[in-house]
Structure 1
Amino acid sequence: MESFRHLTCSLRDEESTPPHSPSCVELGKRAPTPIREKEVTLCMKCQEPFNSITKRRHHCKACGHVVCGKCSEFRARLSYDNNRTNRVCVDCYFTLVGVSPSPGGLSSSTQRRRSILEKQASLAAENSVICSFLHHMEKGAGRGWQKAWFVIPENEPLVLYIYGAPQDVKAQRSVPLIGFEVSQPEACDRLERRHAFKISQSHLTLYFSAEGEELQHRWMDILSRAGRGEEPLIHQPIVESVEEEGEELGAEAEGENT
């Protein structure tokens, strides 16, 4: 059991530990730095979307992850809190207590294989060609502009990942970029946003709007290269805009329990 716990800890540290959270050795011994609720739209364990009624946000008091009530219905004593009982997630419960929860209490993400969309946004952004918030809209989809977090990973420079927020553990969508053409919107597109551009392929057209002209040009250049199947010539620095842009995504999280 001890050997298995150490192996589980090492794997979890590599794959799912958020920035500034305790390692497995320190788990429960020091307080984590909680991830901001407005940077997460999906439970970081079961990956189900949050809502203000049936799927509310909670913080695991051991690792700092933002999780739903079902994935944090466990209690464990934490040394940093005078050995008092605190709400923890399913993974931390197993690490701290050494007992696996009943099958009914396990999050769905631990019982199935990882899909192509299960690429944690924050980890992908650390090694990305480019990443930033953009507004986007799909032609003919009947939905207006939406804000999301976009990432093109260095290890997959020809794929665009779309996340609801920078700390989400699963992308909403992935778009293979080869074959797409990048251009400025035309008058007939009737877009009312500044710094807009679009990518088109066959019957699919996606519109985007950046926060500034420089960011617009960078995205258009990188997407154009990817559309031609070319990898980026140089590493593009990460666009750091989480602090400002995350405010709008977190409006629904205000007033919810942690």
Structure 2
Amino acid sequence: MSLIHPTAVVDPAAELDSSVSVGPYAVIGPKVRIAANTTVGAHCVIEGHTTIGCDNQIFQFASLGAQPQDKKYAGEPTRLVIGDRNTVREFCTFNTGTVQDRGETRIGNDNWIMAYVHIAHDCMVGNNTILANNATLAGHVHVDDWAILGGLTGVHQFTHIGAHVMAGFASHISQDVPPFMMVDGNPLAVRGFNVEGLRRRGFTPERLAAVKQMHKLLYRQSLTLEAAKQAIEGLKAEMPEAVQDVDHMLGFLAASTRGIAR
């Protein structure tokens, strides 16, 4: 308890590991659970049914676990779940889920979330993502592992952003963005594939060649989406080292409900 500043207001029912640090004037509600070595900065408000894992650093003035900004919300006990080793910078706002979805907003592990980011109800954010300043996720958005969203990027509700996507500054994302792609603009345009990011993550030349070919089939050969999917399926025989990447792309395309950015 010596790590909790005397001006912080921590409800006696909250469950905080003894190693959790809480800064001045922070407010932590009764249904909050925080695991080991997490730091909560000054003036943070953490409320609702919120579970936070280990080794997170939450900077001052963040608001986590508030009710969803959804007029249908009627006080149901929905949740916010945050994993381990995340950095959450100043003035971020993460809301709990709604019963119209799975009732949970979830942020994974090792994410770098910069100031003023908003993550709305029922969003699912994976691992190792970067959300730059003022990136805004509307309700029910899914952001897969290793995605990067530039500052001031806005994401429409129910949109799915694939793994390893990179979205440039002030992008307006209203359709699903397939894995590995680089996008920006308003209206959104696909500019290429995230070759440098994939290299940094250890993609072999063979896997990079397969991603390049998938980008070409989707965006450079004037194929219909169905024709592109069939051609991408054929890459598994041509490029056996990239079967997992091809399957990942095909699974994403099959599951898309808003249509893909093209």
Q: Under TM normalisation by the shorter chain, which class is it?
A: under 0.3
Higher relative contact order structure (alpha carbons within 8 Å, sequence separation ≥ 6) = 1
Q: TM-score, normalised by structure 2?
A: 0.24
Comparing both structures, which one devotes a greater share of its residues to strand? 2
TM-score (norm 1): 0.24
